[in-house]
A and B are shown apart, each in its own frame.
Chain A
Amino acid sequence: MKKTKINEAHYILKGKMVEFCGWDLPVQYSGLNTEHVAVRTTGGIFDVSHMGEIWFRGREALRAVQHLISNDASKLAPGRIQYAGLLTESGCFVDDLLVYMIQENEYLLVVNAANIEKDFQWMKKHTARFDVQLENRSEEYSQIAIQGPVAEKLVQEFTDIDLKPMGYYHFASGRVSGIEAIVSRTGYTGEDGFEIYFKSDAAAASKLFLDLAGKGEKYDALPAGLGARDTLRLEAKMALYGNDIDDNHTVLEADLGWILKLKKEGPFIGGEALARQKQEGIRRKLVGFELVDKGIARHGYPITVDGKSFGAVTSGTFAPFLKKPIGMAYLPVEHCAVGDEFQITIREKTVSARIVDTPFYKRNK
């Protein structure tokens, strides 16, 4: 199993360790619900070093990025970030990612742990004709996410970067505990928060994590594991690659039209198929639901609409902050209005679910 440079800290903090995408990572420390609620009310500190960092550098770096992604990276300025889809020819997802514009001719693409090698090969293959160098530096970089209402105060104690004026989806370079780092106002929880990218040895990485957790006590912030990360992102209706988005569902079907910029300059992979789909209309759409009956609908549980089978739950859990069972699923467009009901088979029982407005949880700004 692979270990992040923060691995030692998880054992010191008595994390309950599991294998995730080949990595030895904590699913929880003090408890999933406690950690989840801490992120919503105070703060949580996550090791997300398993995420991938791929650098694009060169005269045609922007053209290469634009060719690969659904969003319009030409709108970026140095210090700005964009969420985007890395798409197949049919407009489905190879992955979802963040694009950081470091400076002119230099971009950082942050991708999912499970997809690093696949994405890197895909990116190289489809940008061969551009004057750009791609470098997969995922192994070198550690990443810590600090999320929740106290995140700004907590991280500010460690860095010379002035965090207060930093906008959402902006970033800056500076030092965190003396280590050179990129600090961005981003996250995967639905809360305000920061993600810190840095290169260091294991001792320094573990120390930074432990120091953040230690200083976090003052703010009632807790180290948080993969369990809370998953339930937090689901309450905020953020898609998880492999569950809610994959190479079988398009950007439009995933209800992520806002990251699709068909009018951007130049052709891009998946653009033609999506322009066609936009004109013809989609036949299924990713929606959020709550259960009307008791139970918890989880990933893979079969769905029936008007007595006919229609796929399965893509993500489902008991939402620890909202305290109710929620989930996401693709439903036929003629049955995907808020209030519409459908059925889910939970083991041998059939229960009713109702489509609701999403995100399930939205923070007060």
Chain B
Amino acid sequence: MAKENLLYSKDHEWVRREGDAVVIGVTDYAQHELGDIVFVDLPAVGKELKKGDPAANIESVKAVSDVYSPVSGKVTEANASLGGSPELVNQDPLGEGWIFKMSVEQAAELDELMDLQKYEEYLKGIAGE
């Protein structure tokens, strides 16, 4: 998936519009920081999430981290392939390693996310810290 067409959160999730819904995953930066991912705890379909709520857990060998919901809405699908192959998040974070899909309650929340250029600047800021 072309990273240019995605939106990004400060917590290193990416968001892709798909009709009225969005697909959510973690960025290449995030998967690299996490290291070898061995388990993804997926959200239940139908779960209502507010922007910023923890939606899923990604466990690497050494650590666990939350995937936050970048917008408010309802979970419509979770990536079942991650059950047997959590390493997809490492191998193809923007494609096969997507985590869940959700409806969008307020389209305006999408405007608060970063585009690729802003996200790359944001990453530079982190590296400079």
Contact = CB atoms under 8 A, between A and B. Distances in A.
B35 A32 contact: yes
Contacts of B108: none
Nearest to B57: A347
Contacts of A295: 39, 41, 59
A191 B57 CA distance: 33
A4 interface: no
A164 B77 CA distance: 58
A320 B61 contact: yes
A347 B36 CA distance: 21
B16 to A, nearest CB: 27
The residue in B57, B59, B62, B64 that gathers the most chain A C-beta atoms within 10 A of its C-beta is B62
A296 B36 contact: no
A27 B60 CA distance: 13
Interface string A285-316: 00000000011101000000000000000000
Contacts of B39: 294-296, 318, 325
A59 B113 CA distance: 72
Contact of B62 (A32, A34, A294, A347): A32
B38 interface: yes
Contacts of A31: 35-36
Contacts of A294: 39, 41
A24 B44 CA distance: 41
A318 B61 CA distance: 5
Given A294-B39, A295-B39, A318-B38, A33 B62 contact: no
B38 A296 contact: yes
A227 B62 contact: yes
B53 to A, nearest CB: 13
Contacts of B36: 31-34, 320
A27 B62 CA distance: 10
Contacts of B57: 347
A143 interface: no
B61 A227 contact: yes
Given A31-B35, A31-B36, A296-B39, A317 B61 contact: yes
A66 interface: no
Interface string B35-66: 11011010000000000000001011110100
A32 B41 contact: no
Contacts of B38: 296, 318, 320
A298 B35 CA distance: 17
Contacts of B41: 294-295
A298 B64 CA distance: 9
Contacts of B61: 32-33, 36, 227, 231, 317-318, 320
Interface string B61-99: 110100000000000000000000000000000000000
A28 interface: yes
B84 to A, nearest CB: 11
Contacts of B64: 296, 298
Interface string B17-48: 00000000000000000011011010000000
Contacts of A231: 61
Contacts of B35: 28, 31-32, 227
Nearest to A324: B38
Nearest to A36: B61
Contacts of A27: 62
Given A318-B61, A320-B61, 15 more contacts: A28-B35, A32-B35, A32-B36, A33-B36, A33-B61, A34-B36, A230-B62, A294-B41, A295-B59, A296-B38, A296-B39, A318-B38, A320-B36, A325-B39, A347-B57
The 4 nearest A-B residue pairs measured at CB: A318-B38, A33-B36, A296-B59, A32-B61
27 contacts: A28-B35, A31-B35, A31-B36, A32-B35, A32-B36, A32-B60, A32-B61, A32-B62, A33-B36, A33-B61, A227-B35, A227-B61, A230-B62, A231-B61, A294-B39, A295-B39, A295-B41, A296-B59, A317-B61, A317-B62, A318-B38, A318-B59, A318-B61, A320-B38, A320-B61, A325-B39, A347-B57
Interface of B: 35-36, 38-39, 41, 57, 59-62, 64
